[in-house]
Structure 1
Amino acid sequence: MPITFTGIFAACITPFTSDGAEVDLDGISAQVEHMISNGVHGLVPGGSTGEFTSLTVAERKAGNRAYIQAANGRVPVVAGTGALSTAETIELSRDAEEAGADALMIVPPFYDTPSFEEIVVHYRAVSKVVDIPIMFYNIPDATGLDVSAEQFGRLGREAGVACYKDTSGDFSKFTSVYLDQSEDIQAINGCDTLTFAALALGSNAGVWGAASFVPRLCTDLYRALAIDTDMPRARELWEKIHPICVFLESHSYACGVKTGVQLVGLPAGPTRGPILPLAAEHREELRGLLNAAGLETVA
């Protein structure tokens, strides 16, 4: 059986200084306190929401280490360590493990689109040199890699992968993995607009960018659906949260989450190029959605 992750894991931003030149380590500490104090069950820095493709290797290591240090064992930290080569993936993974990461989130190499057999070898190579669980980051729109339900089971059996974060939007396949491959790999939702459906299905966990700026709403939904099985309460919450999720998936995701973080009064800094800031009207649209959900926003 794979290791089971439980609860809402926030897909974390990488705060930058105001000029975007450096990672804002104090901003990471503020972000961690906000999320943990509002009930988030785990943190996932260094992924797409964290703009990992715009970071140097040194910045990626520093960002993961800062999140691990700020969490200080209060919640698990799943550090993003995927890279274009096996060697760099191993370098980042070893560093995160040494820093105290509880698990690793590894996106498959996303330029050459390796075959599935090459993917198995890639993840097996990492799993042989680390002793913490590996989460496969399934994001086929970015990687070009389409993994079948049966192949997800193989990743668990043959490549040392404990679970996978699904950002494909293919809920039918996600359901097949959940129902038919759970002995080998844990299916974790990573698509915001499918959070309600995945939790209602019975999935134990979700990785959710919105939890970076509306963590209490996200964890309240988890409690209502996954713990209390209070469907009326869950529907009430989802009515508030769903428009925010639709907004995030309709714009540059990292920029949308970072804007949300800014609107609730936390340091975030700009996005790095080529990602542009949200247009003023879209920023105000997100503010309106947050206000409608009962959250106060700042100028």
Structure 2
Amino acid sequence: MAKARFSGIYPILYGFFREDGALDHASMRRQVEHCIAAGAHGIAILGLVTEVNKMDVNERRAVVEAVGEMIAGRVPYAVTVGEPTIHGQIAFSKAAKAAGADWVILQPPTARGGGEAELVRFFGAIADGLDMPVGIQNNPVNLDVSLSPASLIALHRQHANITLLKGEGFSVDIARVIEGTDGAMDVFGGHGGIEFMALLRSGGAGLIPAPDCLAIQVKLYELWRKGDAASQAEAERLHREVLPLIVFMTRGIPSLLTYGKRLFAERIGAPVGLERAPALAPTAFGLAEVRRLIEDLQRTESECGIVGVPEIAK
């Protein structure tokens, strides 16, 4: 299988649900159209911000199919796969590919005996059962199971289709993976992009954030890719401008779902809808902080020539 290179900003979609608990297709479509209009280089689904842990397998498959239809091949599509068994991850990945996924992001099971060697075998067996590009999610902050840089490098060397990493640990460790694979892995960051500039300096390929400040992060990335000192200095400045928002939103997944989802829903004109339990109740102070952060974001967007929310195709 020829290696495809993936890069850029891939927003991981929020999950929007109607009050009856069903997926809100209208709001999900509005979100997809917003992301594409804002310049997203790809779209990802079934992350923690999609509330994947609050869905059963049938719902997860339905979301993957629905979003695949909404994207309709306009941008690359990445799907996170978190089934607890090798067979389950292979089957889900194949279903994702049939729904239009260009690559999958394998998530480790919540508990795994046997240490790193067993987890390397787990991921390797899944990759060997697939004919598509495979990424590994390595998130020592939010997930109970993770791999060392050495194990991630070994996975890439031993399995030709493991060509991507969603690296959400310390930037220094992620840089070790990039260096240890001679830049052959497409390494994406996470956690909203809190260390995005460090990732870019180390040779990272892109970012998989929530879509809260998507247009700014797309502009930042494209400035950095120009390569000249002035453009990269402007990219650094834009990162500093949105860093308070990123820090506020990445204190924890419950707070991101409570406040980030509200911020984003308001910006695209979608209802927040049903909040699946367990959910963190917003406070007056938290909502006031979100309001202040929205105003700061809008000011930065205006300074960059981004006026309002990108027009969404009807």
TM-score by length of 1: 0.90
CA-to-partner distance for each residue in 1:47-94, whole Å, 9 max, x for gaps?
Answer: 111111100111100111111111111111101111222232222212
The SS at the match of 1:137 is: strand
Q: Determine if the alignment matches structure 1 residue 239 to structure 2 residue 240.
A: yes
- The answer for the alignment partner of 2:302 in structure 1 is none
State the 1:268 CA deviation. Answer: 4.0
- The answer for the alignment partner of 1:226 in structure 2 is 225
| Structure 1 CA distance for aligned equivalents of residues 196 and 146 of structure 2 | 21
Map of 1:23-102 to 2, 5 A cutoff?
23-102=23-102
State the 1:114 CA deviation. Answer: 5.2
| Structure 1 CA distance for aligned equivalents of residues 155 and 213 of structure 2 | 33
The SS at the match of 1:143 is: coil
State the 1:6 CA deviation. Answer: 1.0
Aligned residues: 293
Partner AA of 2:247 in structure 1: V
CA-atom RMSD in angstroms: 2.1
- The answer for the alignment partner of 1:162 in structure 2 is 163
The SS at the match of 2:17 is: coil
Mean Cα deviation higher: 38-47 or 191-200? 191-200
Counterpart contact for 1:2–1:156, Cα < 8 Å: no
Map of 1:1-299 to 2, 5 A cutoff?
3-19=4-20, 21-112=21-112, 115-159=115-159, 160-168=161-169, 170-182=170-182, 185-191=185-191, 192-209=193-210, 212-229=211-228, 230-251=231-252, 252=254, 253-264=256-267, 265-294=269-298
CA separation of 1:206 and 1:114: change in aligned 2, threshold 3 A:
farther
State the 1:113 CA deviation. Answer: 5.4
| Structure 2 CA distance for aligned equivalents of residues 217 and 41 of structure 1 | 13
Partner AA of 1:213 in structure 2: D
| Structure 2 CA distance for aligned equivalents of residues 131 and 44 of structure 1 | 19
Counterpart contact for 1:135–1:165, Cα < 8 Å: yes
CA separation of 1:76 and 1:268: change in aligned 2, threshold 3 A:
farther
CA separation of 1:183 and 1:239: change in aligned 2, threshold 3 A:
closer
State the 1:116 CA deviation. Answer: 2.0
Partner AA of 2:236 in structure 1: R
The SS at the match of 2:10 is: strand
| Structure 2 CA distance for aligned equivalents of residues 156 and 256 of structure 1 | 37
| Structure 1 CA distance for aligned equivalents of residues 209 and 177 of structure 2 | 19
CA separation of 1:232 and 1:77: change in aligned 2, threshold 3 A:
same
| Structure 2 CA distance for aligned equivalents of residues 228 and 267 of structure 1 | 40
State the 1:166 CA deviation. Answer: 1.2
Counterpart contact for 2:9–2:221, Cα < 8 Å: yes
